[in-house]
Structure 1
Amino acid sequence: MSYPGLSLEGKVALVTGSSRGIGAALAIGLAQAGANVAVSDVPRQLDEARGVQSQIEGVDRKSATYELDVLNLANIRESVDAVVKDFGRLDILVNNA
Protein backbone atom coordinates (compact mmCIF):
# COMPACT_ATOMS: atom_id res chain seq x y z
CA MET A 1 0.00 0.00 0.00
CA SER A 2 1.29 3.47 -0.78
CA TYR A 3 0.46 6.70 0.96
CA PRO A 4 0.39 9.56 -1.58
CA GLY A 5 1.57 12.80 -0.02
CA LEU A 6 3.02 11.05 3.02
CA SER A 7 6.67 10.13 2.89
CA LEU A 8 8.53 9.01 5.96
CA GLU A 9 11.64 8.21 3.92
CA GLY A 10 14.71 8.29 6.17
CA LYS A 11 12.71 8.52 9.39
CA VAL A 12 13.04 6.02 12.23
CA ALA A 13 9.98 4.90 14.20
CA LEU A 14 9.66 2.91 17.41
CA VAL A 15 6.30 1.21 17.98
CA THR A 16 5.59 -0.30 21.38
CA GLY A 17 3.35 -3.36 21.54
CA SER A 18 3.93 -4.02 17.87
CA SER A 19 3.87 -7.81 17.77
CA ARG A 20 0.22 -8.03 16.70
CA GLY A 21 -3.03 -6.18 16.17
CA ILE A 22 -3.02 -2.40 15.91
CA GLY A 23 0.67 -2.17 16.84
CA ALA A 24 1.70 -4.54 14.06
CA ALA A 25 -0.50 -2.71 11.55
CA LEU A 26 1.01 0.63 12.59
CA ALA A 27 4.56 -0.70 12.31
CA ILE A 28 3.94 -2.16 8.86
CA GLY A 29 2.11 0.99 7.71
CA LEU A 30 4.98 3.21 8.84
CA ALA A 31 7.37 1.01 6.87
CA GLN A 32 5.14 1.18 3.79
CA ALA A 33 5.25 4.98 4.12
CA GLY A 34 9.05 4.83 4.05
CA ALA A 35 10.17 4.66 7.69
CA ASN A 36 12.62 2.22 9.19
CA VAL A 37 10.87 0.63 12.15
CA ALA A 38 11.94 -0.64 15.55
CA VAL A 39 9.45 -3.31 16.58
CA SER A 40 9.07 -3.88 20.32
CA ASP A 41 7.10 -5.90 22.82
CA VAL A 42 7.32 -7.80 26.09
CA PRO A 43 9.46 -10.97 26.22
CA ARG A 44 6.60 -13.42 25.69
CA GLN A 45 5.64 -11.67 22.42
CA LEU A 46 9.10 -11.43 20.85
CA ASP A 47 8.60 -14.31 18.40
CA GLU A 48 5.52 -12.58 16.98
CA ALA A 49 7.41 -9.27 16.94
CA ARG A 50 10.15 -10.87 14.87
CA GLY A 51 7.48 -11.91 12.37
CA VAL A 52 6.44 -8.27 12.04
CA GLN A 53 10.11 -7.36 11.61
CA SER A 54 10.31 -9.84 8.71
CA GLN A 55 7.26 -8.27 7.06
CA ILE A 56 8.85 -4.82 7.35
CA GLU A 57 12.10 -6.08 5.86
CA GLY A 58 9.96 -7.50 3.04
CA VAL A 59 9.10 -3.94 1.96
CA ASP A 60 12.83 -3.08 1.87
CA ARG A 61 12.94 -1.17 5.15
CA LYS A 62 15.39 -1.65 7.98
CA SER A 63 13.85 -3.18 11.09
CA ALA A 64 14.91 -4.71 14.38
CA THR A 65 13.09 -6.21 17.34
CA TYR A 66 13.54 -5.01 20.92
CA GLU A 67 12.33 -6.31 24.26
CA LEU A 68 10.43 -3.39 25.77
CA ASP A 69 8.18 -3.49 28.81
CA VAL A 70 6.48 -0.11 29.18
CA LEU A 71 6.00 -0.77 32.91
CA ASN A 72 9.78 -0.81 33.46
CA LEU A 73 11.40 2.64 33.20
CA ALA A 74 14.95 1.28 33.09
CA ASN A 75 13.98 -1.09 30.27
CA ILE A 76 12.37 1.77 28.34
CA ARG A 77 15.57 3.82 28.58
CA GLU A 78 17.71 0.84 27.53
CA SER A 79 15.48 0.09 24.56
CA VAL A 80 15.38 3.69 23.32
CA ASP A 81 19.17 3.93 23.68
CA ALA A 82 19.53 0.68 21.70
CA VAL A 83 17.26 1.96 18.92
CA VAL A 84 19.25 5.20 18.64
CA LYS A 85 22.51 3.23 18.62
CA ASP A 86 21.28 0.80 15.95
CA PHE A 87 19.43 3.27 13.70
CA GLY A 88 21.32 6.49 14.45
CA ARG A 89 18.24 8.43 15.49
CA LEU A 90 14.61 8.22 16.61
CA ASP A 91 12.03 10.45 14.92
CA ILE A 92 8.68 8.84 15.67
CA LEU A 93 7.43 7.16 18.83
CA VAL A 94 4.12 5.30 18.80
CA ASN A 95 3.01 4.38 22.32
CA ASN A 96 0.71 1.51 21.44
CA ALA A 97 1.36 -0.77 24.45
Structure 2
Amino acid sequence: MMLHDRTPTVSRLRTTLDQWSTGVLPADVVCARFRLAALEWNGLPERYESVLERLLQPLDTAAMLGDEGCGFSRADLAQALQQWLDHASQLPARH
Protein backbone atom coordinates (compact mmCIF):
# COMPACT_ATOMS: atom_id res chain seq x y z
CA MET A 1 0.00 0.00 0.00
CA MET A 2 1.08 3.58 -0.56
CA LEU A 3 2.46 5.43 2.42
CA HIS A 4 2.52 8.83 0.76
CA ASP A 5 -0.22 10.18 3.03
CA ARG A 6 2.05 9.64 6.06
CA THR A 7 5.11 11.30 4.57
CA PRO A 8 4.32 14.84 5.80
CA THR A 9 3.58 13.55 9.32
CA VAL A 10 6.77 11.48 9.45
CA SER A 11 8.78 14.43 8.17
CA ARG A 12 7.28 16.77 10.78
CA LEU A 13 8.01 14.31 13.57
CA ARG A 14 11.62 13.85 12.41
CA THR A 15 12.02 17.64 12.43
CA THR A 16 10.43 17.77 15.88
CA LEU A 17 12.96 15.24 17.19
CA ASP A 18 15.85 17.13 15.65
CA GLN A 19 14.65 20.39 17.19
CA TRP A 20 14.14 18.82 20.60
CA SER A 21 17.55 17.12 20.48
CA THR A 22 19.21 20.49 19.92
CA GLY A 23 17.17 22.25 22.60
CA VAL A 24 15.01 24.29 20.23
CA LEU A 25 11.71 22.69 21.31
CA PRO A 26 10.55 21.96 24.84
CA ALA A 27 9.46 18.49 25.92
CA ASP A 28 5.75 19.34 26.11
CA VAL A 29 5.69 20.35 22.43
CA VAL A 30 7.33 17.06 21.44
CA CYS A 31 4.74 15.11 23.42
CA ALA A 32 1.86 17.07 21.91
CA ARG A 33 3.10 16.63 18.33
CA PHE A 34 3.67 12.88 18.69
CA ARG A 35 0.31 12.35 20.40
CA LEU A 36 -1.54 14.35 17.77
CA ALA A 37 0.17 12.44 14.98
CA ALA A 38 -0.72 9.12 16.63
CA LEU A 39 -4.37 10.18 16.87
CA GLU A 40 -4.45 11.11 13.20
CA TRP A 41 -2.48 8.08 12.03
CA ASN A 42 -4.87 5.72 10.24
CA GLY A 43 -4.39 2.12 11.28
CA LEU A 44 -1.83 2.65 14.04
CA PRO A 45 -2.05 -0.54 16.14
CA GLU A 46 -2.81 -0.17 19.82
CA ARG A 47 0.57 -1.66 20.76
CA TYR A 48 2.29 1.22 18.95
CA GLU A 49 0.20 3.71 20.89
CA SER A 50 1.14 1.96 24.15
CA VAL A 51 4.85 1.99 23.34
CA LEU A 52 4.65 5.64 22.34
CA GLU A 53 3.02 6.54 25.65
CA ARG A 54 5.78 4.74 27.56
CA LEU A 55 8.40 6.62 25.55
CA LEU A 56 6.67 9.97 26.17
CA GLN A 57 6.34 9.51 29.96
CA PRO A 58 9.85 10.85 30.71
CA LEU A 59 9.11 13.86 28.51
CA ASP A 60 5.90 14.54 30.44
CA THR A 61 7.94 14.47 33.64
CA ALA A 62 10.54 16.79 32.10
CA ALA A 63 7.81 19.21 31.10
CA MET A 64 6.50 19.28 34.69
CA LEU A 65 9.80 19.32 36.57
CA GLY A 66 12.23 20.78 34.10
CA ASP A 67 14.92 18.84 32.26
CA GLU A 68 17.35 19.12 35.16
CA GLY A 69 15.11 17.07 37.44
CA CYS A 70 14.81 14.12 35.10
CA GLY A 71 17.10 11.14 34.95
CA PHE A 72 16.96 10.22 31.27
CA SER A 73 19.31 10.68 28.40
CA ARG A 74 17.93 13.05 25.79
CA ALA A 75 20.00 11.30 23.10
CA ASP A 76 18.77 7.83 24.10
CA LEU A 77 15.15 8.94 24.25
CA ALA A 78 15.43 10.73 20.89
CA GLN A 79 16.88 7.54 19.41
CA ALA A 80 14.06 5.43 20.88
CA LEU A 81 11.43 7.82 19.47
CA GLN A 82 13.21 7.76 16.11
CA GLN A 83 13.11 3.94 16.11
CA TRP A 84 9.41 4.02 17.00
CA LEU A 85 8.81 6.44 14.13
CA ASP A 86 10.83 4.31 11.70
CA HIS A 87 8.78 1.20 12.56
CA ALA A 88 5.43 2.98 12.65
CA SER A 89 6.05 4.63 9.28
CA GLN A 90 6.44 1.19 7.68
CA LEU A 91 3.01 -0.03 8.78
CA PRO A 92 0.46 -0.50 6.02
CA ALA A 93 -2.17 2.23 5.97
CA ARG A 94 -5.75 1.25 6.70
CA HIS A 95 -8.59 3.17 5.16
TM value normalised by structure 1: 0.32
TM value normalised by structure 2: 0.32
Q: Which has the higher contact order (CA 8 A, sep 6+)?
A: 2
Task: Name the structure where helix makes up a greater proportion of residues.
Answer: 2
